[in-house]
Amino acid sequence: MNKFFSVVDVDNLSEIVKEALELKANPNANESLGKHKTLGLVFLNPSLRTRLSTQKAAMNLGMNVMVMNMDKDGWALETQDGVVMNGTTVEHIREAAAVMGEYCDILGLRSFPSLKDKEADYNEDLFNKFIKFCGVPVVSLESATRHPLQSLTDLITITEHKNVAKPKVVLAWAPHVKALPQAVPNSFSEWMCKAQEQGLVEFTIAHPEGYDLNEDFTQGAAITHDLKEALQGADFVYVKNWSSYKEYGKVYPVEGSWMMDNEKLAITNDAKVMHCLPVRRDLELSSEILDGPNSLVIKEASNRVWAAQVVLKRMLETIK
Ligand code: CP
C-alpha cells in the first residue's frame, strides 16, 4: 500500500479488519518493522484522536514520529500554481511537501475543506498536490471529502460488536451549532456501501431534507428523511452532523427531533451507538446514551490505533 486516501485503496474489507484485530491482540508483534523509518504527521487543523492514535500505532511498529502543526508552527502555505507570491503566503506547497518527503519515509496529512469552494474541496486540490510533490507514501488523516482511518476504525468496531452476521447500520444526521464538513459521513457511507456489496452489513442513511450527501459516496444505500423509520431494527446507529452538499456548506433550520436519545434508541434492535468524536453532548447525542451501556464511542476511539497500525504496517511492507 503506498496511499491510504479512500476505500478504493483497500481490496478486501474483511481481510484488513482481520489483520487489524490481530494487531489489537498482539500490538508489538511487528515492533522492528518500522525501525529507522520516520513517520511525519502534518496537521493543518486540530486533532486529538487522529494525532495520538497514529503516533501510538507508529510507535508500536518501532517507527520514529515527527508531528508538524502546520497551521500554527509552519510558514503560511501557498497552494495555487502560477501566482506571484507577493501576499501573505510564504512557502509554496511544491517545496514544503518535497522537503517533508526528504525527512520522512511515510507522511500523514490532515486538511479540512474550506466549505466555500465546492469544486476545489471535492477535487481534493491540496491533498493531491501534497501527494504529488512529497514523493513518499501518504496516509490521509482526514481530507476535504473523506476520513478513511475513521471509517476503517468504524468497520473494525462494528465487526467486533455485531451480534448478527449482517447487521443493520444506520447513519443518522444530528443537529449542530456549526457548519461541519461532509468528510466523515461521506467516508462512512462509502465504506458501508462497499461493506454492503461484500455482504457484511445492510446500510441506511437518515437525514433531513436538504442534507443529501454527494451521490458518489452513497451508491447502494437506502436513504430516508424519516429517522424513526430508519431506526427500526437497527443494530448500529452512527450519529453525525454535516452541512449541506448541494448548497455547499449551508445549514438549514430542521423540523422535528434529530438528536439521538433513549426514546429513539427504544425503536432500534438495542442498537450500539457510535460517533467519531468530538461530540456535542445533548445537542448531537444525549448524555444518557453517551454514559449508558449502548455507547461504543470510547471503544471506537480506542480502535483508531489498530486502523492506523494496519495501514502503516502495509505501507512499511511496501517500502521495505
Ligand atoms: N475523530 C477524529 O478524527 O478525532 P480528532 O479530530 O480529534 O482527530
Mean pLDDT calculated for residue range 228-249: 98
Dist. CA 149 → ligand 1 center (Å): 10
Annotated binding site for carbamoyl phosphate: 47-50, 75, 110, 147-150, 276-277, 304
Is 272 touching ligand 1 by the criterion CB < 6 Å?
no
Mean pLDDT of the chain: 97
In this prediction, residues 81-93 reach a mean pLDDT of: 96
In DSSP notation, 239-282 reads EE----TTTTT------S--SB-HHHHTTSSS-EEE--S---BT
Q: Quickly tell me which residue has 436538504 as its cell.
A: 210
pLDDT (mean) for 49-77: 96
Rounded to the nearest 10°, the torsion over CA 296, 236, 189, 1 is 50
Average pLDDT (242-249) is 98
- CB of 308 sitting under 6 A from ligand 1: no
Q: Does domain 149-301 have CATH number 3.60.21.10?
A: no
| Amino acid symbol at 234 | A
The residues spanned by each domain of the chain are 3-146+304-319, 149-301
77 in helix, strand or coil? strand
The pLDDT value recorded for residue 157 is 98
The pLDDT of residue 315 is above 90: yes
ipTM exceeds 0.95: yes
In the predicted structure, residue 52 carries a pLDDT above the cut 80: yes
Q: Domain 3-146+304-319 is classified in which CATH homologous superfamily?
A: Aspartate/ornithine carbamoyltransferase (3.40.50.1370)
The continuous run of DSSP H or E covering 110 comes out as: strand 106-110
Closest CA to 184 of 57, 21, 302, 50: 50
50 lines ligand 1 (CB under 6 A): yes
Cis upstream peptide for 278 (omega within 30°) = yes
| Same-fold call for 3-146+304-319 versus 149-301 | yes
Residue 134 scores a pLDDT above 80: yes
Instruction: Report the pLDDT value the prediction gives residue 320, as an integer from 0 to 100.
Output: 73
- Cβ(143)–Cβ(127) below 8 Å: yes
User: Hey, which residues does 169 pair with through a beta bridge?
Assistant: 203, 236
pTM to 2 decimal places: 0.98
Per-residue model confidence as pLDDT tens digits over 274-283: 999 999 999 9
pLDDT greater than 80 at residue 126: yes
Model pLDDT, residue 71: 85
What is the average per-residue pLDDT within 44-67? 98
What pLDDT, on the 0 to 100 scale, is given for residue 45? 96
- Which of 42, 44, 47 maximizes ligand 1 atoms within 8 Å of its Cβ, making it the mutation to test the pocket? 47
CB of 315 within 8 A of CB of 4? Answer: yes
pLDDT at 23: 98
Angle between helices 148-161 and 13-25 (to 10 degrees): 80
- The residue whose C-alpha atom lies closest to atom 6 belonging to ligand 1 is 47
The string of DSSP letters for 136-165 reads: S-EEES--SS--HHHHHHHHHHHHHH-SSS
150 lines ligand 1 (CB under 6 A): yes
Over 90: is that where the pLDDT of 286 sits? yes
Query: What's the mean pLDDT in 282-301?
Result: 98
Asked whether 47 lines ligand 1 (CB < 6 A), one says yes
Q: What is the pLDDT of residue 88?
A: 95
